[in-house]
Amino acid sequence: MIEVRNLTKHYGDKHAVNDISFTVEDGEILGFLGPNGAGKSTTMNMLTGYISSTSGQALINGVDILEDPIKAKSYIGYLPELPPLYMDMTVKGYLQYIYDLKKCKLPRRAHLNEVMTLTKIGDVQNRIIKHLSKGYKQRVGVAQALIGNPPVLILDEPTVGLDPQQILDIRSLIKKLGKNHTVILSSHILSEIQAVCDRIIIINHGIIAAHDTTENLSRSISADHRLIARIEGPREEIIKALRNIPGIKYCRADMQREPGIYEYELEAEPGNDIRRDLFAIVRDNNWPLLAMRSAEMTLEDMFLKITMGEGLVIENPNDKAEQKGEQA
Amino acid sequence: MGAIFRREIGAYFTSSIAYIFLAVFWAFFGYFFFETCLVSATTDMSGMFQSMFLICVILIPILTMRLFSEEKKQKTEQGLLTAPVSLGEIVFGKFFAALALYTIGLVMPFFYALILSKYGVVEWGIVFSNFLALFLMGAAFISIGELISALTENQIAAAVMTFISLMLLYLIDVIASNLNEGILQTVLNRLSFFRKYMAITCGLFNVSTIIFYISFAVVFNYLTIRVFERRRWS
């Protein structure tokens, strides 16, 4: 279990992480979502004892990382943003070194083989790490975190640089590990966090912008009421007609995709399904509807939404206090 | 500590630094052996050992330059510092690895002494005390190089800075001899590495010298630990 209380890190007068609190229960997968430079890595570095916090506490299985770092670190398997790989070692040699470094007590050969099978790097075990592809290197990084079977796994952007198949592999591996490990996972890819995590913390400018279960967050940002439609016909008339749909919030023409054919972005008030109305309009006007899809919300959209809408105004200290109270 | 020590030794040999160091070190040993023992037909190896002081000043930076700078540059430091080991284990693991490779280099004079013992009488006591002096002085030099390596992520910068530092230690005597009699000269003479080393190579074995070198190495290893602690807390 991980407990974080009012964790803060200042570099001079720059607040990298400001007063973050959360807990992760055993067997839970927590996702850390945020743009680059939001403070995800800094938080993880504090949790793993790589850097100290300016104030606040981080407890790993009840052990304070600053008070008894060696004991706390022995509970953690950590994959930093850049896997700490020694490029001139073989995969097997490197994992053996990590095994010794962590003073692991598990049966050596069996445990190493188990980890290599789990991360699917058994076939490259005798190759020098610097000759491996990025995907393999990343998986060796995951493997080193798993050595010693630590109860807590902290993975900083574990799928960066992997191809789609490898991303799926790693995700299913993390899900599997989440059954008997406590996992914190960071990413700036929304779908990845959604696919894997039980709970999500959105972090921006070093503070928690939102903290909820994946289900709730997904619902609040769900894109059902945002549509993108590709319609053939006169642009101005189409826009005028679409803007008359009841419950619509805005409509604008996007890019010209094919000669004379535009994509239109529509957003309805939450709870309104405008797909049928849209279809009725194009049918009545005889404008061929060439494509229609729901607009995926980008991370940027979500940030705007979470930081500016929904009543979570992060710049306001009173609101922040309220928000903290809710979490506690 | 064992894991770090073993990896470090492995890295010396895979990165070819070990071979380069040993080859150059032994080449100089061989040359000085030839010049001071064989040419002058003596079994007194003190001249050879005296000449090795400057070779250590030049070669030890190569041994220590990548100890920490490389870890920092390749970001492997993060793995090391988040592993359940103490800073002391990390620093001493690396120190002893460098010291071990250096000690392998020091084995050579014993072969020379064996060769000489075929043809004349070798004063084994002097050979051993010379070996011990070179060993302890190397340990102190390595601890300086280690500290400097922890301060930068550039191997070359670490090597150059270490070389300059060791050179300054070597030149303490020159500086001291240019000073008028005074406290500063006394202090510098007491600090002098070269003077203490020369005394041993001449057969003047002194416990305080041993303690000087060892405590020097301990202090610099401690300072290296402090560098990492400070960085973590900054």
Phi, psi (degrees; rounded to nearest 5) at A176: -65, -45
A54: closest chain B residue by CA: B233
Q: Among B82, B15, B126, which residue's Cα sits nearest to residue A48?
A: B82
What is d(CA A60, CA A142) in angstroms, rounded to the nearest whole number?
Answer: 20
Return the structure tokens found at B14.
């895979």
Q: What is the pLDDT of residue A298?
A: 57
Number of domains chain B contains: 1
Say which range, A48-57, A171-180, A212-221, A271-280, has the weakest mean pLDDT.
A212-221
| Cβ-Cβ contacts under 8 Å, B74 against chain A | 84-87
| Cβ-Cβ contacts under 8 Å, B2 against chain A | 100
What is d(CA B183, CA B189) in angstroms, rounded to the nearest whole number?
Answer: 10
Rounded to a whole number, what is the distance in Å from the CA of B76 to chain A's nearest CA? 4
Mark yes or no for CB contact A101/B74 under 8 Å: no
Residue A24 near residue A60, CB atoms below 8 Å: no
What is d(CA A242, CA A233) in angstroms, rounded to the nearest whole number?
Answer: 12
Mark yes or no for CB contact A144/B79 under 8 Å: yes
What is d(CA A149, CA A26) in angstroms, rounded to the nearest whole number?
Answer: 14
Q: What is the rounded average pLDDT for all residues in chain A?
A: 83
Q: Mean of the pLDDT values across residues A265-291? A: 84
More confident residue, A190 or A29: A29
Rounded to a whole number, what is the distance in Å from the CA of A80 to chain B's nearest CA? 7
Phi, psi (degrees; rounded to nearest 5) at B97: -65, -45
CA distances from B26 to A1, A2, A201, A262 (A): 56, 55, 60, 78
Return the structure tokens found at A60.
């790993």
Residue that has been written with the tokens 């001139």 in this structure: A88
B16 touches chain A (CB under 8 A): no
| Contacting B residues, span 76-115, partner chain A, CB-CB under 8 Å | 76-86
pLDDT value at A173 more than 60 = yes
| Other beta carbons within 10 Å of B16 | 10
Q: What is the pLDDT of residue B97?
A: 96
Residue A160 near residue A152, CB atoms below 8 Å: no
Q: Among A112, A6, A117, which residue's Cα sits nearest to residue A57?
A: A6
Determine which of B14, B75, B78, B229 to mutate to test the interface with A (most A C-beta atoms within 10 Å). B78
Q: Among A6, A3, A26, A4, which residue's Cα sits nearest to residue A152?
A: A26
Return the structure tokens found at B110.
């014993």
Residue B94 near residue B6, CB atoms below 8 Å: no
Residue B186: domain span: 2-233
Rounded to a whole number, what is the distance in Å from the CA of A50 to chain B's nearest CA? 6
pLDDT value at A91 more than 70 = yes
Mark yes or no for CB contact B15/A88 under 8 Å: yes
Question: For every one of its 234 residues, what pLDDT tens digit does chain B have, with 9 covering 90 and above?
Answer: 889 999 999 999 998 899 999 999 999 999 999 988 888 888 888 888 888 888 999 999 999 999 999 999 998 999 999 999 999 999 999 999 999 999 999 998 888 889 888 888 888 888 888 888 899 999 999 999 999 999 999 999 999 999 999 999 888 888 888 877 778 888 888 888 888 888 887 777 788 888 999 999 999 999 999 999 988 887
What is d(CA A91, CA A119) in angstroms, rounded to the nearest whole number?
Answer: 12
pLDDT value at A30 more than 70 = yes
Percent of chain A with pLDDT over 70: 88
| Cβ-Cβ contacts under 8 Å, A85 against chain B | 74, 76
Q: Cα Rg for chain B, rounded, in angstroms?
A: 19
Return the structure tokens found at A87.
């490029």
Q: What is the pLDDT of residue B12?
A: 93
> Which residues neighbour B28 within 8 Å (Cβ) at sequence distance 6 or greater?
B51, B52, B55
Rounded to a whole number, what is the distance in Å from the CA of A307 to chain B's nearest CA? 30
Q: Mean of the pLDDT values across residues A292-309? A: 65
Residue A40 near residue A186, CB atoms below 8 Å: yes
